[in-house]
Structure formats: C-alpha cells, structure tokens
Amino acid sequence: MITNVLTIDVEDWYHGLVPIAKWRECEDRIVDSTRRILDIVDEAGARSTFFILGDVADLHPELVQEIAARGHEVATHGYHHELVYRLTPEAFEQDVARSLASLRAAVTAPVVAYRAPFFSIVRVTLGTRCAGIVGVALRFQRLPRAQLSLRHSQRAP
C-alpha cells in the first residue's frame, strides 16, 4: 500500500450524471485528463491512489496499466458509479465484483482499496436497509475498516 495525501477518482464527466445506457454516446475525455494528472503528480515526485471505475478499466485497460506502471496504487471506485445507499447488498456485491474483475484483468498488483461513488456509504447505508454493504466490501477487500473511504453524514442526500 502507498502512503500518500492525494487520491484521485478516475471517472469521466458523464459517470453518475448521464443514464448508463447513454454513456457510449458521450465524449470520452478520461484518458487525456488522467494522463495530465499523472504528469503533475509525477513531476511533484508524489505517489497517489487512483480509485478507478470498472467501466473505465474495461474501456481503457492501457490507462490502468499506465497508472500502475508509474508507481501509483490502483483501487476500485465500483463499476458504474452508483450510489451505494440505492443498491441492495446483492447489487453492491455484484458491482464491486465486476469492478475488481475489470481492474485485475488490467494489472497484476493487488487491488486493496475501495471508495464509494459520491461517498455514498453513509449512516443510512449502515442501517437495517443495507446492513450487509460494509461487510461485503470488507470481505471483497479483506481490509480493516480504517481503509474504507467513508463519509459519516446523518442521512443520505
């Protein structure tokens, strides 16, 4: 694991804004913008964790490989950038599994961190409706709780 003070979410402008069925109609800007960020971070001599969507990994495995080759940590941001508190534990498990498969197909380094899209693991998510979400994340990642990127708000937006 990399110790750093900077983490990057690798998602394109339309992820989370445009319906999934229309994503392929949107202009893809992720490769150029991520490479610009990589250059800036590299020029500073820093290392970062890049939380990458599985969708991005499937479309651009070479970008995931480049991030790892430059010495940065590859982590998962889910597959479709969906709000966790809107998913059932089963749907969440499928989303994480699919994203991990996509990332692991691109790189051999272990993927050991997860960040929820829109920081959507909130107290509501941890309640009875989706009580299994964090357990699923921990089982997939085999991480201590401290490594999950959680935002503790009182309720979902």
Predicted TM-score of the model (pTM):
0.79
CATH number at residue 68: 3.20.20.370
Domain hosting 17: range is 7-147
pLDDT in tens, 12-50: 988 888 999 999 999 999 999 999 999 999 998 899 999
Q: Is 154 part of a structural domain of the chain?
A: no
Q: Is 28 part of a structural domain of the chain?
A: yes
Q: Give the chain's radius of gyration (CA, Å).
A: 15
Q: Is 87 part of a structural domain of the chain?
A: yes
pLDDT in tens, 56-81: 999 999 999 999 999 999 999 999 98
When pLDDT is cut at 50, 70 and 90, the band that residue 83 belongs to is confident
Residues facing 115 on adjacent strands: 149
Q: What is the pLDDT of residue 125?
A: 52
